[in-house]
Structures are given as C-alpha cells and as structure tokens.
Amino acid sequence: MSLHFVTGTDTDTGKTLVSAGLLARARAQGLTTRGIKPVASGSVRTAQGLRNRDALWLQRYSAPAVDYSEVNPIALEPAVAPHLAAREAGMTLEASRLIAHIRQLQASPRQFGLVEGAGGWRVPLNRQEDLGEIARVLALPVILVVGLRLGCINHARLSAEAIRADGLRLAGWVGNHIDPEYAETEDTLAMLAHHLDAPCLGHVPWIDAAEEHGPEVAARYLRLPGEAH
C-alpha cells in the first residue's frame, strides 16, 4: 500500500480521529503502519518538549513503534493556523523541509501510512505555499474527511475539485459525524456519494473527542483504500 495524504473540508472535521482509526484498522489486519503530522499547532509543553495531542494519537497507532520526532517534526505551541503559529515562534515554515522529512521516512516504508495535514486543503504554510504542496510534490493519493454539518456538501465538493485541479487522485472520503444534533445525515451522505465520484471509506458516528479509545471505535466503521466492502 502507498502513503496517503489526509485532509479535511475545514478545521475540526475529525481528521485525526479518522487517520488514527485507519491506522488502527490497518494494524488490526497485521499491517505495519506509520502516521505523520508534519506540522502541528496547539501543542503543549511537557518534560519531553512540545507535544501535540493529534500527533500523539498517530504515534500510538504506528507500528512498529516510532519516535515522536518522526511523527511530528515541527510542533508549535499557539493554537492558531500553522503559518501564524510559526511566526509567533520566530520561524518560517517551508514545504521543502517537510517533504524532505517524509522522503527520509519513505526510505523505510510501512505497509500503510498516512500524512495528516492541518485544517483544509488550502491551509497556508507561508505566503507562497500551502499544505497541499506536500501531497502535490510527493504525488500522494488524498483521503478527504467531511465533517457532517450544515455547509459540508459545498465544502466537500470544492475541496474535491481543488484536489483534482492540483493533479491528484481522490482515493476516498469519510463522513464524520461531528455534530450529534445534525438531523440531515442520510440525505447529506447520499448527496456526497453522488457528487464526490470517489469511494466512501466509511461513516463514523459521533465519538466524544475525549474518548481515549476513539480511534479503535472509529476503525469499526472504516475501510482502507482498496479494501472491499
């Protein structure tokens, strides 16, 4: 299996829950796995240095075990957009540095791997580059996580159009129930299936973000790209 890039229709769509869920599913099938979060804002200070909760989840479901620095080479403390968090930290993000890190890891490939972006497809790294540059340069197939809420059909269609306009393949999409009060789920999923022209990799029910084993629960509702129904 090849490395995939995971993006969302917006921020807080549950990309990490889905990414970790896919890694957990792959692990349960006996595959070697690796999750990568090249840049993460909203990190907290620990005795080991800055640590990001999303990256820690990806680390947990990577097997064989990996060092945190492999998963998340750039951890930023402010909980704002990556380019702003980097500016507050006195640094500039560069796609080439993140791509070089991933290429180094590709020298020891795993059977199933994911690179998780931040926010949506066009989230900037700096004034010239966005996170999608990583997927473009590495020619990674893309998994789109759709947070099921009002407006998500528009966001999903625009995201899919942008991904394809950048010359990349949409390997699949996941509907993630981020709003337990959203009442139009079935109609929304049907419309997404009609318009996205890519395999649906699952519908994940609402899972409390504080649920420690959330990814293992999510894994029950997911399938890997190329995996039969």
At CA 46, angle to CA 76 and CA 66, rounded to 5? 80
Distance of CA 189 to the CA centre of its chain: 20
Residue 178 CB contacts under 8 Å (≥ 6 apart), including other chains = 12, 13, 14, 147, 148, 149, 206
Q: Number of helices (H) and strands (E), helices first, in the chain?
A: 9, 10
What is the helix, strand, coil percentage profile of the chain, to 5?
35, 20, 40
**Catalytic annotation on 15?**
no
Token pair in block for residue 62? 């990577």
The CA distance from 107 to 105, in Å, is 5
**Count of CA atoms in the C-beta half-sphere (13 A) of 177:** 19
Q: Which residues pair with 51 in a beta bridge?
A: 44
Q: Which of 4, 37, 110, 177 is catalytic?
A: 37
Q: Which residues are catalytic?
A: 37
